[in-house]
Amino acid sequence: MKKAAIYARISTNDQHLETQLYDLRKLAAQRGFEVGHEYCDRGISGSKARRPGLDAMLADARRGKFSVVLVAAFDRIARSTKNFLEIVDELSELGIEFISAREAIDTSGPMGRMFITLVGSIAELERSLIVERIKAGMRRARMEGQRLGRAPLNVDRSAIVRDRLSGMSLTQVAKIHRVSRATVVRLAREASRRQTVAA
């Protein structure tokens, strides 16, 4: 029985890591693999260079702890086609099969390798087009005079600073003025800087 490793990643907290893990455990059972290790990254974007779960998985791959890696989809494991192919190439050199559930691809044969290259390239192109559409939309919005980003904070800044300097706790001031504690800290710091400059 082949030993398998599962790698799962979610980039936001409203996603469910357990869904990926459940589906991949089921796939492993169907293929007759024994799942020995599960590696997870929570709340980490695929664009991040350092991912503790992925790094640990690759380190254990180099130690020969498993012979198959299962992932839910290509985009769970890499931030670009180049990065994706580097990971798959390293696994291949170590004699480790790579299986992606969504794309129904594994690297045990030449067709799997061909599809991985094609699908990875298409996924990267799609991401690039999305980014370009977002940038074009922002440029158009600026040309039309629309405001981008958060609306300015509509609060009595001087009252917040005054209450904080009077000895009230961060929580009390935040609750009274219906703002976050971070906002109270920021406004107090800005007021302090202005006083320092004026002095």
User: Which of the following is catalytic: 11, 67, 80, 92?
Assistant: 11
11 is catalytic: yes
User: Would you tell me the crossing angle of helices 52-62 and 81-93 to the nearest 10 degrees?
Assistant: 30
Catalytic residue ranges: 11
